[in-house]
Amino acid sequence: MGKALIKVFAFMIILVVIFLWVGYTVTEMTGGEKKAQAAVGVNPEAGEAIFWGKGRCSTCHSIGDKGSAVRCPNLGVFGEKFTLPIGLRAAERAKEREKQTGKSYTAVDYLLECVGNPSAYVVEGYKNEMPTVYAPPISLTLEEVKAVISYLQSQGGEVNIEAISNPPGEGKNLLNRIAAAVSAGGGDPTNGEKAFFDASGAACGTCHTVKGNGKAVGPDLSAIGTKGVKHIQESIVEPSSTITKGFESYKITTKDNNMIVGLKKGEDGEGVELITAKGEVIKVPKSNIAEITQETKSLMPEEIREYVTVKDYQDIVAYLLLQKG
């Protein structure tokens, strides 16, 4: 009996050793865990650690003969298809993007677009399946995104940290998008715009306008981003906590016991006009008004948090953060 227990124990020890060895080997093949924890800042060393570690880039990309991922383009020199490393390849792709968009693109701009808005340009022969790396579960910070860009730039190109931090072309807008998304907890501004105007979802556009789009029932939100993430989040979750001046709601009780709630659109000698949450303009004759009182609650429904998903909420916040007027 004792010998049998010793054999079982020895077998378990061997299994644990094999498991630890396999884990170590896999970690080393993907860049090494120690390296991922050591490097910090915006530099190629930190970017390399993030690429093969936290960023999980190596799940889909290889660099030359390093790594074994094939789902997405190899970012080094590999085979007949990839004859330039990504640091040099980015300059060629930037020229393509300029022709396609009519906007100014540098190599840094292209690399920022690859990370910040990967669906904008998908390499021929590959699927549009790259995740949003600054959103959960990866959740890279803005500094970590810049570090990865510097690492990619170092693959055959000349690293320019200043250009990464202050890109002259389209990259500036991309950095703003990433910064807004990170501030919003990982939101996607592109999806946020869709969710904002989706009548079957958040339906924010049925009452608010952004740069002329939507309906002007509530405040125009074209410059809401200047007020910061906290103000935007509170305005959505607790709309009655701060009501914009001029957008106070009123309740009119008529003499035949009807109640109408809305924003005061106008008033003259004949009656009072209210615009309801549905955008309907109702003029109530003064002769039929029993009472008119100013409400303490916003016309914006508080239950919006109950039917908007967490993802759409984060995406909408990210989209609104970009609206600087």
Q: Say whether both 203 and 139 belong to one domain.
A: no
Lowest mean pLDDT among 44-58, 110-124, 294-308: 294-308
The two structure tokens encoding residue 185: 């907890």
- On whether residue 204 sits in a domain, the answer given is yes
Give the model's confidence band at 4: pLDDT under 50 very low, under 70 low, under 90 confident, else very high: low
pLDDT for residue 26: 42
Mean pLDDT over each residue of the chain, to the nearest integer: 85
pLDDT at residue 5 tops 70: no
The CATH number for 286's domain is 2.30.30.100
195 near 315, Cβ under 8 Å?
A: yes
Q: Give the count of domains, the chain.
A: 3
Among residues 175, 179, 174, 218, the alpha carbon closest in space to that of 196 is found at: 218
Lowest mean pLDDT among 24-38, 144-158, 171-185, 222-236: 24-38
- On whether residue 2 sits in a domain, the answer given is no
180 near 134, Cβ under 8 Å?
A: no
Provide mean pLDDT across the span 122-126.
Answer: 93
Among residues 167, 70, 101, the alpha carbon closest in space to that of 93 is found at: 101
Lowest mean pLDDT among 14-18, 37-41, 140-144, 200-204: 14-18
Q: Say whether both 201 and 175 belong to one domain.
A: no
pLDDT at residue 99 tops 80: yes
249 near 261, Cβ under 8 Å?
A: yes
Q: Say whether both 233 and 307 belong to one domain.
A: yes
Provide mean pLDDT across the span 49-76.
Answer: 94
Highest mean pLDDT among 4-8, 145-149, 305-309: 145-149
Provide mean pLDDT across the span 213-237.
Answer: 91
Among residues 52, 54, 57, the alpha carbon closest in space to that of 131 is found at: 57
pLDDT for residue 134: 83
pLDDT at residue 309 tops 70: yes
Q: Say whether both 168 and 258 belong to one domain.
A: no
- Classify 141 in phi/psi space as left (phi over 0), alpha (psi -120 to 50) or beta: beta
pLDDT for residue 9: 53
Q: Say whether both 43 and 174 belong to one domain.
A: yes
How do beta strands 271-275 and 259-267 pair?
antiparallel
Range of the domain at 47: 30-183
Compute CA 148 distance to the chain's CA centroid, rounded to the nearest angstrom. 18
- On whether residue 96 sits in a domain, the answer given is yes
pLDDT for residue 12: 56
Provide mean pLDDT across the span 60-72.
Answer: 94
Q: Say whether both 38 and 174 belong to one domain.
A: yes
Q: Say whether both 59 and 152 belong to one domain.
A: yes
pLDDT for residue 15: 53
Percent above pLDDT 90 for the chain: 51
pLDDT at residue 198 tops 80: yes
